[in-house]
Structure 1
Amino acid sequence: MITFKFYCFLCLLLATVMLSSGGRLVKADAFPVGGGMVPAMFIFGDSLIDNGNNNDLNSFAKANYFPYGIDFDGGPTGRFSNGYTMVDEIAELLGLPMIPPYSQASSSKEQTIHGVNFASAAAGILDITGRNFVGRLPFNQQIKNFENSLDQITDNLGAGDVAQMLSQSLFFVGMGSNDYLNNYLMPNYPTRNQYNGQQFADLLSKEYTTQLTKLYNLGARKFVLAGIGRMGCIPNIIAHGTNGRCSEDVNQLVLPFNENMRTMINNLSTNLPGSKFVFVNVDNMFQDLLSNARSYGFRVVNRGCCGIGRNRGQVTCLPFQTPCPNRREYVFWDAFHPTEAVNVLMGRKAFSGTPDFVYPINIQQLANIP
């Protein structure tokens, strides 16, 4: 039914740079080398925030070809966007340099000291999720890769300094969408016959809790967790429907996962001393975006800027396909992922928004906690 992942669309972050007609044009080397609000940011997730980790994998989930990156200075990098991803925006807002992907990070202090991106397209909370794309790095493997990077960083800084650095750094995690798009909703998976919607959400929450606790035991203290967005409204889901509208069945399916996340965050905050959690309510953000699209400058809300078939969502953006010229007016870049403009808008809400969008505090407030 669905041949890719979209992920929550959890999106977050802010922008203070110029938008062109298609997206923001910014020099990658324009970021400051240090002096950020936090020492570093470590990123875990799927294709919404993968910035190149799948490039060298034997995987069908790749975006290292034009027109991906058409508005990114440097062109295609593996980002599933026309330009910046949400975590690029977060890094900029926090005053951090561009965070390198794990696949390109070395033991060099300069490359890893401000964080590493471990995200992988098609990855899920469950290891089995995304197997239809062959190569991908599930959340459990991303955590193992973080351990490897931790060894490198410790060699550079020393154990005491690393512990202090980690306690003040942000750990951004955006997982869960693929566990629905590329597992539960896929006809070649048995999951839907084994669990109803609530049971599956509970299964994910249990595993997610274990994984986040592992990160805590490795030194993480400040967590930013993104929920799943209005998955029933992505072009691929609409394209597989019959009425040209959002699938409320799919939207309702993922609600228990988001509801469980609030409970999970409260429990983790209680059980993990010194931990602080922020929940980014991507579902609320997306509902607000759809309801007020025109006022935000968006004209096209139900089809991709680049793709093939109904709603440009049946087949995702192909190599060297010509995308729409007015990318700033599109909510979706391809069959599954939002445009840079949406990442910017939702990032602003995540960074400094109110509790209806980011709970119980926003990213800016989290970063400023000693």
Structure 2
Amino acid sequence: MAFYFRRLCYFPALLLVVIQLLHGVCGQLVVVEEPTYAPPPPLVVIEEPTSSPPPPLDVVNEPIFAPPPPLDVVNEPISAPPPPLNVAEEPLSAPPPPLHVVEEPISAPPPPLVKQDGNDAIVPALFVFGDSLIDNGNNNNIPSFAKANYFPYGIDFNGGPTGRFCNGLTMVDGIAQLLGLPLIPAYSEATGDQVLRGVNYASAAAGILPDTGGNFMGRIPFDQQIHNFQTTLDQMASKSGGPVAIADSVARGLFFIGMGSNDYLNNYLLPNFPTRNQFNAHQFGDLLVQHYANHLTRLYNLGGRKFIVAGLGRMGCIPSILAQGTDGKCSEEVNQLVLPFNTNVKTMISNLNQNLPDAKFIYLDITQMLEDIIANPAVYGNYQILS
């Protein structure tokens, strides 16, 4: 049994939960209990790698642009509640209403829920890093088997296939609209002033580890996506008066990161990769999160301060895994395999929040969200059940 939501390739409820989480991102940031002037202690998650430790990332040691000025919201009294978002005025305990986007005609994209003119956006920019779940065309012009710029992809998207692995909009498209931003362009297509409102660097088949997805040939791993973000910063600086001028915009921007699924599907679980012989499930989860923490710290050093990091869902229930079985049931072995990764990511986020001044990292519990949607589908509005 599967659920099909018109237009959005992810669940409308997930969009509402993200917006509710943004109370902690766009409001007062009070999660850093240490004084911001104290030097951060070393991250717990990057202690001793289970294999040989990854080489230090040169980019982390390079001087960054100018450090962003302190966020005004950090200086507000801790007791002051964050202002409510326009798009989530209902109590958090109330079941989310159906999104307007699923009730619009399929032929036209849904209107934004927040005005897109000038300063009406909740955040100045959205920067997206990830894989095929949120790729919007970065693989179109590279030699790769992981492409979606042909039908039936995009059958509900105004303009047809774009490179989104989806019939219509993706999760981050919906988030951008709810934040009052335009659809965020792919890095491969972003031009002119578009980069000032954000860029999507996600690439199908990409992973946290650089070798992940090699079976698809071309893809853009996480470290290369971060390198592309550095290029964007140079472009933004040239359009807005230099690195100091863009520092505040980058610091107030939202970074959405969804990585890790391909490190299992297109690395650990494939017989032509050595990782399964080198690491057990817990060791591999440790290795992934060590690299993950380094990459996220690198984004922090480049000016990012507000991050949403998505965990992995029940990957034993996805079509490619179901197709390998004979009974049509989810693979509990695969579901259990990714649990150490999610556990480690939660610990990593806690450490980053404690040790990186002014940073705010939020964990998006995809597993819990999907399980609730499956258990209570009628609560989430307009849906169809496909047998």
TM bucket, shorter chain: 0.7 to 0.9
Instruction: Kindly indicate whether residue 351 of structure 2 is the aligned counterpart of residue 267 of structure 1.
Output: yes
- What are the within-5 Å matches in structure 2 for residues 324-343 of structure 1? 328-329=383-384
Larger Rg: 2
Alpha carbons of structure 1 residues 148 and 278: separation in structure 2 relative to 1, 3 Å: same
Q: 1:116 aligns with which of 189, 194, 199?
A: 199
* Deviation of 1:145 (Å): 0.2
**Partner of 2:135 in structure 1?**
50
Q: Distance in 2 between matches of 1:32 and 1:44?
A: 23
Q: 2:300 aligns with which of 213, 216, 240?
A: 216
**Partner of 1:98 in structure 2?**
183
8 Å contact from structure 2 (residues 143, 217) kept in 1: yes
**Partner of 1:192 in structure 2?**
276
* Deviation of 1:19 (Å): 1.9
8 Å contact from structure 2 (residues 258, 311) kept in 1: yes
* Deviation of 1:161 (Å): 2.2
Alpha carbons of structure 1 residues 190 and 10: separation in structure 2 relative to 1, 3 Å: farther
Letter in 1 for 2:270: M
Instruction: Kindly indicate whether residue 124 of structure 2 is the aligned counterpart of residue 39 of structure 1.
Output: yes
Alpha carbons of structure 1 residues 213 and 115: separation in structure 2 relative to 1, 3 Å: same
8 Å contact from structure 2 (residues 209, 263) kept in 1: yes
Alpha carbons of structure 1 residues 73 and 18: separation in structure 2 relative to 1, 3 Å: same
Letter in 1 for 2:384: E
Instruction: Name whichever of 146-155 and 286-295 sits farther off.
Output: 286-295
Alpha carbons of structure 1 residues 237 and 330: separation in structure 2 relative to 1, 3 Å: farther
* TM-score calculated relative to the size of structure 1: 0.75
**Partner of 1:127 in structure 2?**
210
Q: 1:204 aligns with which of 288, 297, 301?
A: 288
Deviations 1:262-319 (A, max 9, x none): 1000111111111001110001011112222355468xxxxxxxxxxxxxxxxxxxxx
Deviations 1:30-72 (A, max 9, x none): 9724420000000000000000000001000000011111111
Q: Distance in 2 between matches of 1:292 and 1:61?
A: 33
Instruction: Name whichever of 289-298 and 67-76 sits farther off.
Output: 289-298
**Partner of 1:253 in structure 2?**
337
8 Å contact from structure 1 (residues 43, 116) kept in 2: yes
Alpha carbons of structure 1 residues 244 and 61: separation in structure 2 relative to 1, 3 Å: same
Letter in 2 for 1:196: N
Q: Distance in 2 between matches of 1:23 and 1:191?
A: 43
8 Å contact from structure 1 (residues 171, 220) kept in 2: yes
- What are the within-5 Å matches in structure 2 for residues 21-40 of structure 1? 25-26=108-109, 32-34=116-118, 35-40=120-125
8 Å contact from structure 1 (residues 10, 227) kept in 2: no
Letter in 2 for 1:75: G
Instruction: Name whichever of 13-22 and 239-248 sits farther off.
Output: 13-22
Instruction: Name whichever of 14-23 and 137-146 sits farther off.
Output: 14-23
After superposition, the CA RMSD in angstroms is: 2.3
Q: Distance in 2 between matches of 1:330 and 1:48?
A: 21
Q: Distance in 1 between matches of 2:379 and 2:239?
A: 48
How many equivalent residue pairs? 293
Q: 2:313 aligns with which of 229, 232, 244?
A: 229
Letter in 2 for 1:280: L
8 Å contact from structure 2 (residues 101, 111) kept in 1: no
Alpha carbons of structure 1 residues 232 and 138: separation in structure 2 relative to 1, 3 Å: same
SS in 1 for 2:338: helix
**Partner of 1:147 in structure 2?**
230
Q: Distance in 2 between matches of 1:23 and 1:270?
A: 45
8 Å contact from structure 1 (residues 201, 256) kept in 2: yes
Letter in 2 for 1:19: V
* TM-score calculated relative to the size of structure 2: 0.71
8 Å contact from structure 1 (residues 166, 220) kept in 2: yes
SS in 2 for 1:13: helix
* Deviation of 1:24 (Å): 7.8
Deviations 1:2-34 (A, max 9, x none): xxxxxxx89942484342599684168997244
Letter in 2 for 1:218: L
Letter in 2 for 1:55: N
SS in 2 for 1:55: coil
Q: Distance in 1 between matches of 2:380 and 2:356?
A: 39
**Partner of 1:83 in structure 2?**
168
Q: Distance in 2 between matches of 1:283 and 1:263?
A: 17
Instruction: Kindly indicate whether residue 70 of structure 2 is the aligned counterpart of residue 68 of structure 1.
Output: no
Q: Distance in 2 between matches of 1:29 and 1:244?
A: 39
Deviations 1:207-233 (A, max 9, x none): 000000000000000000000001011
8 Å contact from structure 1 (residues 197, 253) kept in 2: yes
SS in 1 for 2:309: strand
Letter in 2 for 1:234: I
Unaligned runs of 5+ in 1: 1-8, 299-327, 333-370
Q: 2:371 aligns with which of 287, 299, 313?
A: 287
